[in-house]
Amino acid sequence: MAAAKLFLRPYCPSPPIPFHAKPFLSHPQLFTPSFSSGARSVGVASCAQTHAAVPYGPSLHKGANLYPSGEEQRNSIKDEEEGRHLFNEQSFTRVFDISALRVPSKDCFALENRLRGHLLNWPRVHNIARIPGDDVDPDILKLMGDPDNDDANFESLERRVYGKAEGDGEELGPILYRDKLVRTFNTRGFVNFRNLASITRPKKRKKKKENDGNGAKQKDWSVGRCEAAIVEVMEDEEGEGDNLRGLLGEGYKRSKWKGSTRLLLLDEQYANKGLEDLPEAIKVMFREYTTHSTSQNLELVACKLTLFYDYWSMNEILEVLLPKGMIVPSAFETVGHIAHLNLRDEHLPYKELVAKVVLDKNKPKIQTVVNKIDAINNDYRTMQLEILAGNRSLVTDVVENGLKFTVDLATVYWNSRLGSERQRLISGFTRNDVVCDVFCGVGPIAISAATIVKRVYANDLNPTAIEYLERNCVLNKLERKIKVFNMDGRRFIGSIFASEKAQSITQVVMNLPNDAAEYLDAFRGIYIDKEREDIRNLPTIHVYGFSKARDPEFDFHERIRIALSEVGVDVEMRRVRLVAPGKWMLCAKFTLPQSVAFSRNGRFHREEFES
């Protein structure tokens, strides 16, 4: 038996996207039939046996596995020194028996339409397979004339190839013309005619752009190492058509070439079936082709479809790799090129393995995979991250709402999930506003506000965050609208409202949900030195907070009221998102009460504002 390899082009050129929770397959017995080198020995009966246990379509629990199952594989390559679990990508190769119709390529789209419902229709596997070498240049086809009349064809072709076409009245193509010249010059002794090649060689086509915008290599799904699927046609080796193999390529192994053809892959249920067992639609097609007896007939061929590691989704692979019953970590956050996992304790022994799959399945966008190792509990709200796979850089570029930010996840705070909340907040600002961002981080609120408002005063305690903020202001060409401060939030509020800038400030943003409410006392007595008549507008405060209470709005309102030492404050409250089971992030919006701004009991000892 011989196997001609065909490369399938998947429907979608992009790599599988990280998915959200989808129903996981139950763990049927992993199927590992014995497999010998002869492709026909793929256990058909065993495949059929597993069909009942797993859903329709491709699955790692179906098909023939040439390697040990995921569990055996994982255990077999445990890194002795570091105790890490590793795996072999080849253990995810699965071979499926299928049948295909070999049809004339000119008819294949029409026939594909007629056979809808009877074709394979597996995700990312194209129902139409090409046969390398089967397609012949139309010019050569013309020369070969009627494919039924072999003698005429080859005579004509040979005349053309070996330069006997002189005097035929036919014009030689550039390559043949060059060949003819080479022969001519050789016989006359001009063996070193160096420019000959450049005179007649057809111009090279420009290489398809390999890089995406970020300079990372795109996956080539159709050929090479990244191929996801291959079809092999099972055919008899003892053909008569070996004389055409040189011309049509190694892929050509048919007894008689009858023109360019395509394979229409049939539904998995028709694997290893005879024509009599195929649906009526296919039989009718066969009859039509026989009746109209053209030189190009239909053929039913047995094929092997091989799906590789690249084919399977992240979930499918992890489900096989992780111990039975373990929840598959299916979600992660992305910050620029970094995938940020939040693994449970039970996943920790397999963290490298999970990270490798996440990286492999999300390249080239993802270049680094990290896991959060501790809850955020430091002043600068930075995360403790462990790099599990990919490159070691935690400095990355993020684009949010059309603005660019550079962040270093090791030293500053960033949360991509708050992008829409920031957008919502900023949409309430106008060009007459002057904004104070008390806990600004690297500037996602301050910088987007600066695209709308008159002026922004941005402050953060973390000096590294301030460095990145300044860099991001320049990156977005907004440095002239943003004034940057690096001090404690309470001191910042006191100082800026003591300065001559105070009256211009219309909006104050306080995004430090853990304890921003407790900083509100800094507003008590901020206008103590001013006359009430001079203050026309009091600022609107937007303060964020967490609450685990049964009534989160009431709980957060109480914290605000106590910090301001007010009996009642008119607050507009909004739930932003559930950050953990039972824990809400809220945003409270209110106008600073006059009684607070002019309070004589200001706890804060104000300093002169240093600009």
Binding residues: 422, 460-461, 488-489, 511
Tell whether residue 521 is a contact of ligand SAM (CB under 6 A): no
Q: Which two tokens stand for residue 428?
A: 């309430």
Q: Tell me 179's DSSP state.
A: H
**According to CB under 6 A, which one of 380, 579, 591, 609 is a site residue for ligand SAM?**
380
When the beta carbons of 121 and 423 are compared against ligand SAM, the nearer one is 423
Give min distance, CB of 514 to ligand SAM, in A.
8
Tell whether residue 444 is a contact of ligand SAM (CB under 6 A): yes
**According to CB under 6 A, which one of 229, 394, 440, 517 is a site residue for ligand SAM?**
440
Which residues does 422 contact at the CB level (< 8 Å), separation at least 6?
400, 401, 444, 445, 448
How many residues interact with ligand SAM (rule CB under 6 A)? 19
Residue identified by tokens 């055409």 is 244
Find the radius of gyration of the CA atoms of the chain.
Answer: 35
Tell whether residue 403 is a contact of ligand SAM (CB under 6 A): no
Site string for ligand SAM, 527-566 (x = CB under 6 A): ----------------------------------------
Tell whether residue 470 is a contact of ligand SAM (CB under 6 A): no
Tell whether residue 461 is a contact of ligand SAM (CB under 6 A): yes
Is the dihedral angle over the CA atoms 531, 535, 540, 543 positive or is it negative?
negative
Tell whether residue 465 is a contact of ligand SAM (CB under 6 A): yes
When the beta carbons of 445 and 597 are compared against ligand SAM, the nearer one is 445
> What's the CA angle centered on 270, arms 267 and 272, to 5 degrees?
135
Tell whether residue 418 is a contact of ligand SAM (CB under 6 A): yes
When the beta carbons of 96 and 439 are compared against ligand SAM, the nearer one is 439
Site string for ligand SAM, 472-501 (x = CB under 6 A): ----------------xx------------
Give min distance, CB of 523 to ligand SAM, in A.
15
Number of residues written out for the chain: 611
Tell whether residue 89 is a contact of ligand SAM (CB under 6 A): no
**According to CB under 6 A, which one of 33, 58, 441, 552 is a site residue for ligand SAM?**
441
Phi, psi of 205 (to 5 degrees): -75, 145
Strand partners, 407: 396
**According to CB under 6 A, which one of 103, 496, 512, 526 is a site residue for ligand SAM?**
512
When the beta carbons of 221 and 492 are compared against ligand SAM, the nearer one is 492
CA separation for the pair 338, 340 (Å, rounded):
6
**According to CB under 6 A, which one of 94, 254, 381, 559 is a site residue for ligand SAM?**
381
- With beta carbons less than 8 A apart as the criterion, state whether 134 and 4 touch: no
CA separation for the pair 493, 522 (Å, rounded):
6
The 10 Å Cβ neighbour count of residue 21 is 10
Which amino acid, 448? S
Tell me which H or E stretch contains 408.
strand 403-408
**SS3 assignment, position 299:** strand
- With beta carbons less than 8 A apart as the criterion, state whether 431 and 453 touch: yes
Bridge-based pairing of strands 455-459 and 434-437 is parallel
The 10 Å Cβ neighbour count of residue 537 is 11
Strand partners, 540: 507, 591
Tell whether residue 408 is a contact of ligand SAM (CB under 6 A): no
**According to CB under 6 A, which one of 92, 405, 413, 546 is a site residue for ligand SAM?**
413
Q: Which residues participate in the annotated binding site for S-adenosyl-L-methionine?
A: 422, 460-461, 488-489, 511
**According to CB under 6 A, which one of 107, 232, 316, 460 is a site residue for ligand SAM?**
460
Choose the stretch contacting ligand SAM; rule: CB under 6 A; options: 215-223, 238-246, 434-442, 546-554: 434-442
Q: Tell me 78's DSSP state.
A: B
Note the residues at the interface with ligand SAM (CB under 6 A): 379-381, 413-414, 418, 439-441, 444-445, 460-462, 465, 488-489, 511-512
